[in-house]
Amino acid sequence: MAEAAALSVNWDVIVIGAGAAGMMCAAQAGQRGRRVLLIEHYHVVGEKIRISGGGRCNFTNVNAGPANFLSQNPDFCRSALARYTPTQFVRLVESYGIAYHEKKLGQLFCDDSALDIIAMLKSECARGGVQWRMPCAVDGITREGDRFVVATTHGSVRCSSLVIATGGLTVPKLGATPFGYRIAEQFGLAVVPPKPALVPLAFAPDALARYGDLSGISVDAEIACGEARFRENLLFTHRGLSGPAILQISSYWNGRAPLAINLLPGLDATMWLREHALSAARLDNVLAEGLPKRLAQRWCAAHGVALPMSVLGEGRLRTAGAQLNRWEVLPSGTLGYNKAEVTSGGVDTRRLSSKTMAATTVPGLYFIGEVVDVTGWLGGYNFQWAWASGHAAGQVA
């Protein structure tokens, strides 16, 4: 990207927010020959990319499809995802010689550093002659005929296409703001209430007292909430539950219904326990064959079944077996935006074109990336949405 020396007032396209979606969109529009200005209020670009995937950026998922996204309008993401696929992004990554690997479940990570992806996007912006202002705050946006006037701390700039790519509310210390939602509302678009998603969950006080010191213990579990179901690792923390299975299910949790946790997935726990029904060993010792010992002890104590198998009896054995396959836990809440990976909800898609991301009621206004009510699963899906929606808008803005 080139710093605008004598900054023009008039632009074809202004993109606000230099994250994943904003940089992709700016690069695409610039490479089409549009005069593009990218405005970022933070002092660095792509901070979420930098910290993503433990510093290695899980930049896409080879299996990404509409079924991996939550939205009040589940079909909305279909068109953009189909027109800019994981394969296309991988080709771009390969064209920059960035080495990558599949970790698991189709998740692609950089071998070296997430900074490679940021450098690639900056370079793509430079190829499109994108100019930028950073750090630069936007004070307000008004409409003047068919153009937008963007008032910034460095003066006013004008454009015919305005792209809002300011992301969600997660990790506020890295520049997240509700700016995009406010602009949507200003122009008469509804906003689906945002909430933290892909986020650890807190134990209620009684569960915290029982399980809080199991922090660090991880088990393979299947967790269900309504129709959603994920089998991955479940991690006990000093505040509650985390790990991929919990992060995934958190996006579906409504804050009221208990989660159903299967601690012995793939196993009929009652049948298994019956094999030990005559044993003198205590249930927690039997369970320690399939679960970490301390978890087995705490779980049995909490359920009043830390007893020898031979004295449990068929009734209690059956109840314990059922509860091991369906341990109901009602979290007290999430750990909030500071610990969430994404924000679910956002600009309501009913007034956006699924092909271009343009507001159907405000010609020239576009919303892309996480600010839109499209939320991906854990595993590279959110970046794929950022690339695909940024690409869609970048082809027409």
Ligand X SMILES: Cc1cc2nc3c(=O)[nH]c(=O)nc-3n(C[C@H](O)[C@H](O)[C@H](O)COP(=O)(O)OP(=O)(O)OC[C@H]3O[C@@H](n4cnc5c(N)ncnc54)[C@H](O)[C@@H]3O)c2cc1C
What kind and span of H or E run contains 328? strand 327-329
Residue type, 122: K
Question: In sequence order, what are the residues at sequence separation of 6 or more whose Cβ sits closer than 8 angstroms to the Cβ of residue 18?
Answer: 26, 38, 39, 40, 45, 46, 132, 134, 165
Q: Which of 174, 128, 141 is nearest to 19 (CA)?
A: 174
Only segment of 37-45, 243-251, 274-282, 291-299 that touches ligand X (CB under 6 A): 37-45
Residue 65 identity: G
CB closer to ligand X out of 121 and 286: 121
Instruction: Pick out residues in 53-92 that bind ligand X (CB under 6 A).
Output: 53, 57-58
Residue in 20, 64, 214, 234 binding ligand X, rule: CB under 6 A: 20
Residues in the chain: 397
Phi, psi of 106 (to 5 degrees): 80, 5
- Binding-site string for ligand X from residue 91 to residue 130, where x marks contact by CB under 6 A and - marks none: ----------------------------------------
Q: Which residues pair with 26 in a beta bridge?
A: none
Which strand ranges, in their side-by-side order, compose the sheet holding 58-61? 58-61, 107-110, 100-102
Helix (H) / strand (E) element for 138: namely: strand 138-144
CB of 145 to ligand X, least distance (A): 24
15, β-bridge pairs: 38, 163
**25 sits near ligand X (criterion: CB under 6 A):** no
Residue sitting closest to ligand X (CB): 19
Residues forming a β-bridge with 138: 152
- In the complex, what is the shortest distance from the CB of residue 351 to ligand X, in angstroms, rounded to a whole number? 18
CB of 57 to ligand X, least distance (A): 6
Cβ 357 vs Cβ 34: under 8 Å: no
Using the rule CB under 6 A, is 240 a contact of ligand X? no
Instruction: Write the binding mask 154 to 193 for ligand X: x where contact by CB under 6 A, - elsewhere.
Output: -----------xxx--xx---xxx-x--------------
User: How many residues sit in the footprint of ligand X (CB under 6 A)?
Assistant: 38
Interface with ligand X (CB under 6 A) = 16-22, 39-42, 47-48, 51-53, 57-58, 138, 165-167, 170-171, 175-177, 179, 341-342, 369-371, 380-383, 386
